[in-house]
Amino acid sequence: MNRRPLALALLLLTGACLSPAPAPALRWFAPAMPPIAPAGLAAPVPLARILVSAEAQLGDRMLLRTSDVEFFHDDLARWIAMPAAFAEQALHDVLFGGGYCRDSAEGAELRVVLREFEGNVSERNAAVVAFDVAIVGPGGVRRTTLRRSIAIEGGDAASLARGLGAALAATAVATGEWLDESAR
């Protein structure tokens, strides 16, 4: 009996069984911001421009905090843009669209550093956004740090993206409220 065909068939089957499974696909997300109610301020703050930067660790991969000292990036969940771009858009939409600020060439400059843009799974599932904010104008420089945490349901990347949109909106609204208070 010729055992070659049988050995060849077993070799092919063994190779198929040992080949790696296909790699999971990358998934791309954008934070979903909820609608913002207008501030209704009588005197919006004059603002010349908004400059936004972000901490280096806030790249295009979702960042998760698992304890007070441990973070990891989700290699399969990516942002469609860098987090600083999301923060800049949120600030523009809330501050100008929400009536907190008005565009003015003579206005102050708003400088924002995005410090946190992460999911926090260490104590509870939460989306966390933090801004270091500085308003630079003729009266000098005023600074503050604003941080908002929004509970999220579900532990998946889509839930985190929705939660970060809400936290981004809440932090942008807090920025508008701080600007209004600072202008008085």
113-148 pLDDT, tens digit each: 999 999 988 767 899 999 999 999 988 999 999 999
Dist CA 160 CA 94 (whole Å): 21
Neighbours of 115 (CB within 10 A): 18
What's the whole-number average pLDDT of the chain? 87
- 74 with 64: CB under 8 angstroms? yes
Class of domain 26-183 as given by CATH: alpha beta
* pTM for the model: 0.84
Residue 20 predicted with pLDDT over 80: no
Residue 21 predicted with pLDDT over 80: no
CA–CA distance from 97 to each of 35, 37, 44, 173 (Å)?
11, 9, 11, 11
Residue 25 predicted with pLDDT over 70: yes
Share of the chain above pLDDT 90, in %: 57
